Structures are given as structure tokens and as C-alpha cells.
Amino acid sequence: MSGRLSTFAAAMVVARRDFGAILFSRSFIFFLIGPLFPLLVGTMASGVGQQVEANAGRATLALAMSPADAAAIRSSAHRLEPQLNGMVPELIVVPPMAGGRLPAPAHVLAHSDGAIGAVLSGTPAHPVLTGPEGLIEAWQGPVGLIAADTLRAAPTGFPPVTLTATKAAPVGDRIGRLRTAQAGQTLLFLLTMLLAGMVLSNLVEEKANKIIEILAAAIPMDAVFLGKLFAMLAVSFVGIAVWGATIGSVLLIGGHSLADFSAPAVGWPTFIALGVLYFAMAYLLLGSVFLTIGSMAATVREVQTLSMPVTMLQLLVFFFSSYTMSTPGSALEQAAVIIPFSSPFAMLARAAQSPDLAQHLAALGWQAVWVILFVRFGAQLFRRRVMKSGPATRRSKRANPQPQPA
């Protein structure tokens, strides 16, 4: 028993101290009132996703046909697109199953998670359009014209399009889920940027009062950084709970509920739980960077100067994640999942669009690894640049040579 606290235990001591000092301060009341202004910014930022709406608004028609017929249909659709003035849906070819057999249209719709509006099967001479009733009726005319162009038939000899209505999820569900994903990303971004700045002000104040040097002399610097991050995260959860209860009460009084919004693919309870976890990871990632900046800055002006590039980069990360969520599975969307700072935003969008939960466990573990790396890097940088307790350099050894034995 050495009596020395472990890094985690020491971090919890720092976290309890900071949490109590902030929560019971008078400035915390003003902190709770502060988000009223960012809410206005969030309302204005709702127009950022115009590109997302444009990509989501164009429905997709799957071609469950032979390769030759599918190629002919796509060629005719491309040729007639100017004449149809945007009425031609986006076409994708359904790959054949084992043995070269094409999947049934109902099977394609059931496993598309709402990404496919309808399925065109059969042949150009006898096309069969399967999907929601209202959608296939709207597409009956354009599909008949495309099939006729494929057959090079006369305008009076359009092949009849057989309509098969199903109960598959309409394209509106996909658009609604995209809107839910975009709203979740926007809320996550606003809360992260609003609350992560507390780490900066707290650390600069303690540096000016020499408190940080006392803590660094008593416990490992990694524990100091982790403790401050955990404390600010706990304070953030208190603030979010107050704001959520207030906004929820206002919505309930006005007769609104979550049923008024499009349900995410994983369901509202799981989506909210994942939102809390991804907020924690986004906050810890950004907070560790801000903590490093605050440890290097000597004045508030230096903090503002150094943190501005990080804030701008985080804004670009948010726009990048918002743009890629309309194309799940693409290379850009995969990059947004892998990059640590954009990963929480991209994975929250996935939770709104895909019911798969296993991927979130891997993503949370990946983000936690980067939090640890950033905290350790910031602590080492603080020790070497501020506390001057890093390893001695060769120059210092040459300046203070060891006495040689006689």
C-alpha cells in the first residue's frame, strides 16, 4: 500500500471539487440562461441542409431486371430526362442473388430501410411497378414512356405498366429520418460548442490563481485533465437536463410530443440514449483540445486567439457530417465516421437512418481511444512547456556537465 491515488481516483477527486464549485456558484444561473441566444442561431442554421433535402427528395427506383433490360432502361431514362423535366427517378440496378436469380420486388423494398421508393421488374414490353400506391401511380406515366423508348415503339403503342401496391415504407419516411438526423446533429453541435468553452475559462482562471500548479504537484497531470473534463461534462448534463425539462414542458403544454416528428430507425428511446453518449464523446474530444489550448495560454486574449481556429474547424466538421449523411455507405460518409471529431455526428445520423446497433459499440470505443490519446498529449505538452518538467535535452546536459572523477 503506497497510499498514492490511481489516475482515475485522482481524476474523480478533481472532478468532484470542480463540479461542486461550479454548480453552487452564482454564475451558473446565468449559464443556464445563456442558451436562449444559441437557440435563435440553431433556428437560422436549419437552412444549412438544403443539399441534404435535395438529395433526399429525389426518390430511387430499383431495377430488378435482367442486366440487358436494366441497361436499356437506364439508357432511355438518361436520354428522356430533359423532356420529362425531373420526373425521372434516380435508377439503381438490383444485383442478382445466388444462382443468378433476381430477388422479388417485395424483398427489395423490405430490406432497403426506406432508401428505395419502388421496384421496376419484368421486361420493357411488360413492366411491373411495385411500391406504395401513390408513388407508383405518379411514376406510371414516366415508366411507360421510358419502356416505350426502350422498345422504340410508336407513341400510341406504350406498353401497359402493371401496378402492384405494397405496404412498404414510403420515401417520405426516409426524408423524415434524414430530417431527424439533421436535427440531432444540429442540436449536438450547438450543445458541444456552447458547453466545451467552459473548460477554457475554468483552466485559465486556475492558472492565474496558481491552483493548477498545486494540483499538478500533488497528482498526475493526466488525472487533472481528466478530472476537469469529467466535471465539466457533469455540469453540462445538469444544464441539458434543465433545458430539456423546460423545453419538454413547453411542448407538452402546447400539445406536442415526439409522435409529431419522424421516428428514427432505432426508435426514440435508443436514439436519445445514443445522443447522450455521442454528446459525451464529442464534448470530451473537443474539450480535450480546448483544455490543451487553455493550458498553453497565459491570458484570456491568447485563449480567444488560439481557440478560434479550432472553433472554425469544428464548424467545418459539422457541415461535412451534415452533407455526408444523405449518402450512407459512400466514401465521404465512411470518412466522416472514421475521423474522430466528426464521428459522433456521423454516427448519430446513422442511428436515425439504420437500425443496426452493433456499429455504435465500435464507434464509441474508437472515440474513447482518441479521447485518451488527446488527454495524454495535452498533459505531456503542459508538463514540458508550462511546468518545465519534461526530460532534459542534450543542450541542457552539455550546459551542466557532470564532474569527472579524479
- In whole angstroms, what is the distance from residue 365 CA to residue 374 CA? 15
SS3 content of the chain, % helix, strand, coil (to 5): 70, 5, 25
pLDDT of residue 292: 80
Q: Which residue has the higher pLDDT, 256 or 100?
A: 100
pLDDT of residue 310: 81
pTM (2 decimals)? 0.66
pLDDT of residue 263: 82
State the pLDDT confidence band at 274, using cuts at 50, 70 and 90.
Answer: very high
pLDDT at residue 167 tops 70: no
pLDDT of residue 50: 47
What b-and-e string marks burial along 282-313, b requiring 16 or more CB atoms within 10 Å of the CB? bbbbbbbbbbbbbbbbeeeeebeebbeebeee
What residues contact residue 388 under an 8 Å CB cut-off, 6+ apart? none
For 221-257, what is each residue's pLDDT tens digit? Answer: 888 888 888 888 998 898 888 888 877 787 778 666 6
pLDDT of residue 361: 94
pLDDT of residue 35: 63
pLDDT of residue 1: 42
| Average pLDDT of the residues in 68-95 | 83
pLDDT of residue 393: 46
State the pLDDT confidence band at 98, using cuts at 50, 70 and 90.
Answer: confident
Average pLDDT, the chain: 79
Please give the grid coordinates belonging to residue 139. 411514376
Burial of 33: CB neighbours in 10 Å, binned 0-12, 13-18, 19+: exposed
| Average pLDDT of the residues in 183-205 | 80
pLDDT of residue 351: 92
pLDDT of residue 214: 76
pLDDT at residue 160 tops 70: yes
Dihedral angle of Cα 140, 143, 144, 148, to the nearest 10 degrees:
180
Element (H, E) at 129: strand 127-131
pLDDT of residue 396: 46
For 305-363, what is each residue's pLDDT tens digit? Answer: 777 888 888 889 988 998 888 788 889 999 999 999 999 999 999 999 888 899 999 99
State the pLDDT confidence band at 395, using cuts at 50, 70 and 90.
Answer: very low
Q: Which residue has the higher pLDDT, 101 or 260?
A: 101
- In whole angstroms, what is the distance from residue 164 CA to residue 105 CA? 10
Return the number of other C-beta atoms located less than 10 Å from residue 119's C-beta: 28
For 25-54, what is each residue's pLDDT tens digit? Answer: 777 777 777 665 555 555 555 544 444 554
Residue 241: CA count within 13 A, CB half-sphere: 6
Q: Which residue has the higher pLDDT, 362 or 152?
A: 362
Percent of the chain with pLDDT over 90: 16
Contact 318, 345 (CB under 8 A): yes
pLDDT of residue 384: 74
Give the range with max mean pLDDT: 123-132, 207-216, 311-320, 357-366. Answer: 357-366
